[in-house]
C-alpha cells in the first residue's frame, strides 16, 4: 500500500492507495482512513482504492475555516483532490461522516460519481433530520464537550483532563480481547485509535456541519446509482431500520443490512462489506 497527498485549494488531503482498475474513493467515520485497514485490501483486489483522510483528520491539513465549514465544502474538497490526482469519475464508499459527504457528492457532483455506497449504523442514517441529530448527538456527546475560556487557562486543564480520560478508556478497552488473549494486532489497533483521536482537529465543527446537513432530504437529490448499507447493532435495536426508506428516495436505489456480530464490524466483518460493495459496483 502506498500513500500520498493531493493538493487542493482547501489544503492537502492525505490518502492511502492500493490496487488497479476503476477508482474507488473511501471516506471514513470520525478518526481517519486507517479504519479501513482490513477492508481496503479486499476492495483493492477489484479496484484502485483511495482511502482519503477528511480535512481536519488524520494526515490531512486543518480545516481552513472551521467555524463555517459545511458538508458541501468537504464534498467539494474531494472533487478537488480528484482533480489533483487526475480522476475524472470514481465510485464512492462513505462511512458515517463519510456517508454525509458521499450523499452530497451524489447530489451536487453527479458527473464525477459512478456509483455511490453509503454505510452507517442506524443512528447515522436516520431519514428524519431531527431523529438523526438526536441519535447521533447521544453517541458523540462525550467528544463534543467544550469548556468556556478563561484567563487563568482553566479550560485548557479541563480539556487536557478530558482528552486524557478518553485516551485512557481507549487504551484499556478490553472489548476486542477474546478468551483473555491480548494479541499484537489488538495492540496495534489500539495505538491507531489513540493516534486517530490525537490527530482530530476541530472535530466539534465537523459535527456542527453534520447536524446542519439534512441527510434524509438530500437523498431525494442524488442522481447516481446508490446502495445504502445499514449496520444493525444490539444497542440500537430500539431504532427503526432505515434502509427501505432511504433507498426509496433515490431512483433505482438499493438497500442491504449487515447484522453486527460484536466489536468493530468494519474490521471483523470486512468481507461482508467488500462483497456487498463489489457486487453492487460490478452488477
Reported as a single tens digit per residue, the pLDDT across 71-120 is 999 999 999 999 999 999 999 999 999 999 999 999 999 999 999 999 99
Q: The C-alpha cell of 250 is what? A: 433515490
| Residue 177 burial by Cβ neighbours in a 10 Å radius (0-12, 13-18, 19+) | exposed
Q: What are phi and psi of 63, to 5 degrees?
A: -65, 135
Q: The C-alpha cell of 174 is what? A: 478490553
Q: Is residue 184 part of a domain?
A: no
Q: For residue range 177-219, what is the model confidence (pLDDT) as tens digits?
A: 767 788 888 888 889 889 888 888 888 899 999 999 999 999 9
3-state DSSP assignment of residue 14: strand
Q: Is residue 198 part of a domain?
A: no
CATH number at residue 276: 3.40.50.1820
Q: Is residue 241 part of a domain?
A: yes
In the beta sheet, which residues pair with residue 90?
113
Gap between the Cα atoms of 19 and 1, Å rounded: 8
Q: What are phi and psi of 235, to 5 degrees?
A: -70, -15
Task: Name the average pLDDT for the chain.
Answer: 94
Q: Is residue 179 part of a domain?
A: no
Q: Is residue 244 part of a domain?
A: yes
Gap between the Cα atoms of 206 and 158, Å rounded: 21
What integer pLDDT is reported at residue 262 of this predicted model? 80
CA 279 to chain centre: 21
Q: Is residue 25 part of a domain?
A: yes
- The residue segments making up the domain with residue 29 are 2-141+203-282
pLDDT over 80 at 244, yes or no: yes
The pTM (predicted TM-score) of the whole model is 0.94
Cell numbers 444493525 label which residue? 232
Q: Looking at the 3D structure of the chain, how many domains does it have?
A: 1
Q: For residue range 117-160, what is the model confidence (pLDDT) as tens digits?
A: 999 999 999 999 999 999 999 999 888 888 999 999 999 999 89
What integer pLDDT is reported at residue 189 of this predicted model? 85
Gap between the Cα atoms of 238 and 235, Å rounded: 8
Q: Is residue 187 part of a domain?
A: no
Q: Is residue 277 part of a domain?
A: yes
220: DSSP letter: G
The more confident residue out of 10 and 201 is 10
Amino acid at each position: 500500500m502506498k500513500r500520498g497527498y493531493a493538493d487542493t485549494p482547501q489544503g492537502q488531503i492525505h490518502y492511502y492507495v492500493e490496487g488497479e482498475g476503476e477508482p474507488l474513493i473511501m471516506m471514513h467515520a470520525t478518526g481517519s482512513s486507517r479504519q479501513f485497514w482490513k477492508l481496503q485490501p479486499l476492495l483493492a483486489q477489484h479496484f484502485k482504492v483511495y482511502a482519503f483522510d477528511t480535512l481536519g483528520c488524520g494526515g490531512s491539513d486543518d480545516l481552513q475555516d472551521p467555524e463555517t465549514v459545511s458538508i458541501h465544502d468537504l464534498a467539494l474538497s474531494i472533487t478537488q483532490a480528484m482533480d489533483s490526482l487526475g480522476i475524472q469519475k470514481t465510485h464512492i464508499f462513505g462511512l458515517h461522516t463519510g456517508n454525509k459527504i458521499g450523499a452530497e457528492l451524489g447530489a451536487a457532483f453527479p458527473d464525477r460519481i459512478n456509483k455511490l455506497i453509503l454505510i452507517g449504523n442506524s443512528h447515522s442514517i436516520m431519514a428524519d433530520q431531527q431523529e438523526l441529530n438526536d441519535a447521533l448527538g447521544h453517541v458523540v456527546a462525550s467528544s463534543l464537550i467544550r469548556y468556556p475560556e478563561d484567563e487563568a487557562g482553566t479550560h485548557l486543564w479541563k480539556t487536557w483532563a478530558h482528552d486524557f480520560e478518553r485516551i485512557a478508556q481507549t487504551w484499556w478497552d478490553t472489548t476486542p480481547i477474546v478468551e483473555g488473549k491480548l494479541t499484537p494486532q489488538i495492540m496495534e489497533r489500539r495505538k491507531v485509535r489513540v493516534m486517530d483521536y490525537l490527530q482530530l482537529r476541530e472535530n466539534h465543527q465537523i459535527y456542527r456541519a453534520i447536524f446542519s446537513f439534512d441527510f434524509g432530504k438530500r437523498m431525494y437529490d442524488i442522481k447516481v446509482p446508490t446502495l445504502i448499507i445499514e449496520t444493525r447493532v444490539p444497542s440500537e435495536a430500539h431504532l427503526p431500520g432505515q434502509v427501505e426508506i432511504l433507498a426509496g428516495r433515490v431512483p433505482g436505489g438499493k438497500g442491504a443490512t449487515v447484522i453486527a456480530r460484536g466489536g468493530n464490524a468494519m474490521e471483523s466483518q470486512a468481507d461482508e462489506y467488500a462483497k456487498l460493495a463489489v457486487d453492487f459496483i460490478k452488477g
